[in-house]
Amino acid sequence: MILNILIVGILLYLTWALIHHRRDKSLTFTILLEYLLTALLSLILLMGVVF
Q: Which stretches of the chain bind another protein, using CB under 8 A? A: 2-3, 5-6, 9-10, 13, 16-17, 20, 24, 26, 30-31, 33-35, 37-42, 44-51
What DSSP line would sit under 9-24, residue for residue? HHHHHHHHHHHHHHHT
Distance in Å, CB of 51 to another protein, minimum:
8
Looking at residue 25, what DSSP letter applies? T
Distance in Å, CB of 9 to another protein, minimum:
4
Distance in Å, CB of 34 to another protein, minimum:
4
Measure Cα distances from 35 to 8, 30, 41, 51 in Å. Answer: 15, 9, 10, 24
